[in-house]
Amino acid sequence: MRRSPRPGRKPSTLSFPLQQRLNAYALAASAAGVSLLAFAQPAEGRIVYHRANHRFGYGSYSLDLNHDGVADFVFNLSTGINHIAFSIQPAASRNLIRGYRTTTLDFRWASALKTGVKVRSSKRLGNDTHQMERCIFGTSTSSDCDGQWFLSDIGGHFLGLKFYDTKSRAHYGWARLSGAFFNVRLTGYAYETISNKPIITGKTHGPDVITRQDPSLGHLARGASAIPAWRQKEAVEARH
């Protein structure tokens, strides 16, 4: 409640310079409050994109999409008496791969996605091993090959991936590969930092994309166990 001035006492009037200073102070305080509110808003999502140039060889290779020291997916190139196969499997049971099934062979196959496909929650995501390409040899002159990655003669298609971070938050990502069998190369991969937010395959530019160079190929081939060493090297370089 506003109090009335005491009887016989006149309200004081501020000088013009003092009034100006008080107005300026109020304006600055208001602006500071708005800035603090802006900082308090939730951080916007970012796509973290890693350039890579790794050629897969015989055996298994781990991929850590968000570089938290935990492998998310494992690639495997294997050969047998009458077959050669390249596959990917989740490193943890909760992680998922975009794929499909065929009636000819009882395998789950990894989809070779084009640029611009939205990776999100879908029945087409599965948590078992996914064949990418597979050839069964009958005679020296014939073979039976299957898989979108082989049939498309890939020049840069994408795997659609879903994984969980160390805090059990789900993220979507992709990995771009080219070539076939012993000439398969990982040329890049990315993930969305906001949990459960879909990601677009091949999106590598824009204000919401952070681009990073992949660690050395030796670290990638050795898998997640080498990532702490890479992080230690990055920290040392940042201090110089």
- Phi/psi of residue 128, nearest 5 degrees: -100, 180
What pLDDT, in 10s, does the model give residues 66-78?
Answer: 999 999 999 999 9
Chain segment 92-115, per-residue pLDDT in tens: 999 999 999 876 667 899 999 999
Q: What is the DSSP letter of 208?
A: T
User: Do the domain assignments include residue 114?
Assistant: yes
Q: How many helices (H) and strands (E) does the chain have?
A: 4, 15
Give a yes or no: residue 217 inside a domain: yes
- Give long-range contacts, CB 8 A cutoff, 24+ apart: 26-35: none
The pLDDT of residue 125 is 95
Residue 13 lies in a domain: no
Q: How many distinct structural domains can be found in the chain? A: 1
Q: Identify which has the larger pLDDT, 1 or 238.
A: 1
Give which of 92, 125, 93, 91 is closest to 110, Cα–Cα.
125
Is residue 84 in some structural domain?
yes
Alpha-carbon distance values, 26 to 151, 212, 234 (Å): 69, 44, 45
Residue 12 lies in a domain: no
Structural domain including 163 reads 47-238
200 within some domain? yes
Instruction: Examine residue 40 and state whether it is found in any structural domain, yes or no.
Output: no
DSSP assignment of 98-118, as one string? Answer: EEEE-SSSS-EEE--BPTTPE
> Is position 218 within any domain?
yes
For 91-126, letters b (16+ CB in 10 Å) and e give: beeebbbbbeeeeeeebbbbbbbeeebebeeeeebb
Cα distance between the two ends of the chain: 62
Listed ranges 19-33, 91-105, 109-123; the one with the highest mean pLDDT: 109-123
